[in-house]
A and B are shown apart, each in its own frame.
Chain A
């Protein structure tokens, strides 16, 4: 008689089929959610079945298979493990997967059953300028400064688990606590006390005295902070950060973020880490951005020196009455105060209106410069590959040295500037009146020196009121049109 094959393989296949059948017939049972958490037991059941099968055969004296689990079954096991582990991963909140539209839809359809609980209001009286510490937590936090000397905390918890009883238990295990010791207020969410089967997200709403300072660390969730007079120090593995009206220094460190937005900051701004977009508007003191942001870095109305540094770009300016937009591959600036210093790899640069010196060094990229006002200052512009276009007011006085190794030079300022071609390159030298040095160098590309249509000298000197300057820029733009 032919020896019978293993029965445990078919049994497991039947089980998997049943799981999907249940899902298809009753999607509300969230069977996949169950599977995401309990799939390892399938391996155990399979192992026990195969073990019993071999043992039975051994005891009955029938043929023992060479391997208790065939190589084909091992392939299925590896597939189950990979699928199970991924299902478990994406079932966690805050995972990148659930931040994508597709992933969110998938999770809503197949995984996660959120149970909502409210966090009871806690109010405590503290000083006028307390130091608030929010300890490592997952969830959104909204912190608002208000008059008075009370800290009040409320919010809600969202607990994801397969069973309601599990969520209930997790809710008991993760009370939100506020302790006051001297001037320090510490808020703890105790999320690590719930096991991995219930995932707790605590969304907090805090109102604190206006004079408060804040220190918060989070794993995932957004920070929305407004009207605080003290320092704000945030660090998060994954967060959107919105800061508005901060009196002290701001420090934000993100490992991942969709946006970091700071508006109206009286102290210094320091942003570090990784993220997508950055927006800093109206800052009264130094702004330091040191990190890898893949989206747009947008800077507006900054009164003191600004430094942006990442792997590809280093930018220094003395202040930004207008605006700077730094995207991957391009930099656009309008009305800035130098000395401006920019070093970048592949970036197209366009600067419209700046004061004081300019030092620009690119690896590759086109450069489009319109100083916009007089008198000019020293300009050193270099790119290894790219075109340079400089538009100067008709009445500008300067001394130019322009050279390209491969390309043409186009000069609108007449014969007082001497042009000579050599090989495939060209060189332009000379001066118009007596003015600062303008040096333009490209190794490959054309250089254009042209007269700008309007010759405005209307930019106010550095240090004038920022808003006034902004209106003037708007007026100038209107005139230009």
Chain B
């Protein structure tokens, strides 16, 4: 667990959300499940990504002032 993993986890948040949105829209348009039934999944994915970031970040929730993140 280093801060590089944390940076990675943060960077993939956008792409993952975008893929989720694309899948939900595609499902809506194919007539399978309408968006009004699936939108909460989007919130869940945001939550999961946040959780992953939290887990990936170094175990130092409050770094000392001026301390290095490395």
Contacts and interface: CB of A to CB of B under 8 A. Distances in A.
Nearest to A194: B31
A106 interface: no
B40 interface: no
Nearest to A37: B29
Interface of B: 4, 7-8, 10-26, 28-31
Contacts of B10: 66-67
A54 B11 contact: yes
B17 to A, nearest CB: 8
Interface stretch (A40-48, A214-222, A364-372): A40-48
A66 B23 CA distance: 24
Interface string A42-79: 11111111110011001000001111110001100100
A40 B23 contact: yes
11 contacts: A43-B21, A47-B18, A48-B15, A51-B16, A54-B8, A55-B8, A58-B4, A58-B11, A64-B4, A68-B11, A69-B18
Given A47-B19, A58-B4, A196 B30 contact: yes
A1 B4 CA distance: 20
Contact of B19 (A44, A55, A64): A44
Interface string A80-109: 010011001000000000000000000000
A304 interface: no
Contacts of A73: 14
B31 A196 contact: yes
A81 B25 CA distance: 9
Nearest to B28: A40
For the side of the interface on A, what is the size category?
A: 20 to 34
B7, B14, B30, B31: residue with the most chain A Cβ atoms closer than 10 Å: B14
A65 B25 contact: no
Interface string A183-218: 000000000000111000000000000000000000
Contact of A41 (B12, B15, B26): B26
B15 A50 contact: yes
Contact of B8 (A45, A58, A84, A88): A58
Contact of B21 (A58, A66, A81, A195): A81
Q: Which 9 A-B pairs have the closest CB atoms?
A: A43-B22, A69-B14, A196-B31, A47-B19, A40-B25, A44-B22, A47-B18, A51-B15, A40-B26
Interface of A: 37, 39-51, 54-55, 58, 64-69, 73-74, 77, 81, 84-85, 88, 195-197
Given A54-B8, A69-B18, 9 more contacts: A40-B29, A41-B26, A47-B20, A47-B21, A47-B22, A54-B12, A58-B11, A68-B11, A68-B13
B52 to A, nearest CB: 13
A75 to B, nearest CB: 13
Contacts of B16: 47, 51
Nearest to A42: B22
A54 B17 CA distance: 14
B56 to A, nearest CB: 11
B11 A47 contact: no
B43 to A, nearest CB: 17
Contacts of A58: 4, 8, 11
Contacts of B25: 39-40, 43, 81, 84-85
A50 B29 contact: no
Contacts of A55: 8, 12
Given A58-B4, A64-B8, A66-B10, A47 B15 contact: yes
Contacts of B4: 58, 64
Given A58-B8, A67-B10, A196-B30, A51 B19 contact: yes
B63 to A, nearest CB: 18
Nearest to B23: A44
A64 B29 contact: no
B7 A64 contact: yes
B55 to A, nearest CB: 16
A43 B18 contact: yes
Contact of B15 (A54, A64, A81, A88): A54
Contacts of B24: 40
Contacts of B22: 40-47
Contacts of A197: 29-31
Nearest to B18: A47
B12 to A, nearest CB: 5
Contacts of B18: 43-44, 46-47, 50, 69, 77
Contact of B14 (A37, A50, A85, A196): A50
B61 to A, nearest CB: 20
Contacts of A85: 25
Contacts of B30: 195-197
Contacts of B13: 67-68
